[in-house]
Amino acid sequence: MDMMLFKRSDNLVTPLTVGGVEYDNVDTVGEAQGCPFDAGLSEYTKGRAVEFDHADYCCAIYMIDGVLDVTENSTGGTIHAESGDVFYIPQSDGLKVTFSTPDHARIFWICYPHWH
């Protein structure tokens, strides 16, 4: 894989539906480009909680702006992440987490190996 630059104009946010909930997402780089991981941007708004199943991938996430609450569904434990924070979600069989926000959140994420 050669080095690649993805300009702001290439990173167009498009609606994505996960578990019946629509949110804004950009898959910037991933398997299609020969990359061993996926990376992109996502935006969340109040009232649209999204559940992710982490049985097949792990994620590191950087909070660009806003507030994001990430709840582990089996334990109810919650991470409250704010602008500038970084958090990690491990790959684990049966691990499901829900992303929600009291207002809005914008994140940059990296998932390994691939989240789709």
All structural domains of the chain with their residue ranges:
25-112
Q: Show the CA angle centred on residue 99, arms to residues 86 and 33, nearest 5°.
A: 65
Which is more confidently placed, 84 or 18?
A: 84
Q: Which of 18-27, 37-46, 78-87, 106-115 ranks highest by mean pLDDT? A: 78-87
Report d(CA 53, CA 115) in Å as an integer. 9
Burial class from Cβ neighbours inside 10 Å (0-12, 13-18, 19+) for residue 107 reads buried
Express each pLDDT in 92-105 by its tens digit: 999 999 999 999 99
The answer to whether residue 12 scores a pLDDT higher than 70 is no
State the chain's mean pLDDT as an integer. Answer: 88
Lowest model confidence (mean pLDDT) among 15-24, 32-41, 72-81: 15-24
Q: Is 25-112 CATH 3.40.50.620?
A: no
Question: How many angstroms separate the Cα of 108 from the Cα of each of 68, 72, 77, 98?
Answer: 12, 20, 22, 17
Contacts for 77-85 with beta carbons within 8 Å, 24 or more apart? 81/105
Question: How many CB atoms lie under 10 A from the CB of residue 111?
Answer: 23
Between 22 and 33, residue with greater pLDDT: 33
